[in-house]
Structure 1
Amino acid sequence: MSLRARKRARTRQALLDAATELFERQGYDETTIADIAAAAEIGSRTFFSYFASKEELLFPESDARVQATLDAIATRAPGEGPAEVLLRALRTVGERSDEMVGPTAALRTRLFQTVPAVRGRALQVQLDAQREIARRLAEAFPDQLDELGAGALTGAFVGAINGALQVLLDRTDEAATPADRHQAIRTATDVALAPWRHDPKADHK
């Protein structure tokens, strides 16, 4: 990374850290963009060079997760089915970052239940992601999935992740590590996607 890119990454992370701390301490509605910018030692106008709204601070890696899934679809191996591609993408995301099971995720889950603006943003992020992933799956596996099947598979995948996360983040088990939580999510998605799993033995019957 260039010096400029590293500086932007540090400022972006400072904003995320400041927002998480302020949301926890002051409350989401009580925290303003000006508060977050001041805590990160930048101007309020500069904030919008990094995030379009306060809600976006709670979804820092959503685009990266979607892109990892699209990349997995694009780089599918011969004989790899759509369910296997999605599960591989989930493993890749878990290896790259703990954001999905970390403090931001726990905060996001709590605010989803109490703040309409956060709930609306979360649902929009999820809907946009599901539509794009389902569209790419249908294009990549036309012999296995039509639009309806791709939508159902993607919904099962996303629903399994969200359901498992809800349970994991509601727990107060301090001993659970990010690796433990990622493994629990993988187990949940394995179960949810079992009906779509490809059986190589069937190809030779």
Structure 2
Amino acid sequence: MEETRRERKKRQTRELLVTTAFRLFDEQGYEQTTLAQITSAADVATKTFFNYFRSKDDVLFADVEQYYQATVEVISERTPDEGVSDVLLKTYDRVIARFAEGPISGDPELMEIYGRLVLTVPALQAKALLVQFDLQRRVAEALLTAFPDKLDPITAAAAVGSLFGAVQAAELTSREMFGDSEEEYLKSARRAIDVAMRGLRSL
């Protein structure tokens, strides 16, 4: 559907807040950057910031809700012949598509900043783990509801964990080998998915 003027303006404001925050985090340090500085640099009111994000760290993790929504959509659209592994693979593809629409995709500088922040700032490392664990739990619950005859809570958690864990491990190794290349990250993630799928096909 064609984007309306209001939707476009909202998207542009959100992207402005994200890019402004990332650059301030990089220049000043995450802990040293305040909400007031972000809104001032972006030339928006503090109230406007809270229309898009709940907190400073939410700028880095707000898209997680979209990734969960991708799972819900894929499950609702699945055909009778699609199994657990098919849904997980389609979910991954949907998430990548959503990520490609985000404000930092395609910008090597912002990708590098994001990777460095999440890997080096203790508060963000802890937040990233909590966010990932919560997302895994919610996806596992959605799968369990969708496939009650094929999954139990342990198997659902293991299936989601194997996929998430494979991608995360591949991402970390990719960053060590190739830096913050988005192309290399996506290639590495796809290889991780292929490895995980060999085991998940049994479901």
Residue-by-residue CA offset, 1:97-133 (whole Å, 9 max, x unaligned):
3358765554333223332321232122112211111
Q: SS at the partner of 1:52?
A: coil
Superposition deviation, residue 96 in structure 1:
3.8
Between the aligned partners of 2:82 and 2:33, the Cα distance in structure 1 is 47
What is the TM-score normalised by the length of structure 2? 0.85
Residue-by-residue CA offset, 1:35-58 (whole Å, 9 max, x unaligned):
111111112232212111110111
| Equivalent residue, structure 2, for 1:139 | 145
Superposition deviation, residue 134 in structure 1:
0.4
| Equivalent residue, structure 1, for 2:68 | 66
Higher alpha-carbon deviation: 45-54 or 91-100: 91-100
Gaps of 5+ in 2: none
Equivalent residue letter for 2:46: S
Alignment check: 8 A CA contact 1:84 1:198 kept: no
Equivalent residue letter for 2:196: A
Provide the alpha-carbon RMSD of the alignment. 2.3
Between the aligned partners of 1:158 and 1:142, the Cα distance in structure 2 is 21
Does residue 177 of structure 2 align to residue 188 of structure 1? Answer: no
Equivalent residue letter for 1:14: L
Give matches, 1:20-59, under 5 Å: 20-59=22-61
Alignment check: 8 A CA contact 1:69 1:133 kept: yes
The structure 2 residue matched to 1:129, chosen from 125, 131, 135, is 135
Superposition deviation, residue 198 in structure 1:
4.8
Between the aligned partners of 2:52 and 2:97, the Cα distance in structure 1 is 25
Q: SS at the partner of 1:11?
A: helix
Give the share of equivalent positions with the same residue, in percent. 38
Give matches, 1:154-165, under 5 Å: 154-165=160-171
Alignment check: 8 A CA contact 1:161 1:189 kept: yes
Alignment check: 8 A CA contact 1:19 1:36 kept: yes
Between the aligned partners of 2:49 and 2:127, the Cα distance in structure 1 is 19
The structure 2 residue matched to 1:14, chosen from 9, 13, 16, is 16
Superposition deviation, residue 154 in structure 1:
0.7
Alignment check: 8 A CA contact 2:74 2:91 kept: yes
Q: SS at the partner of 1:42?
A: coil
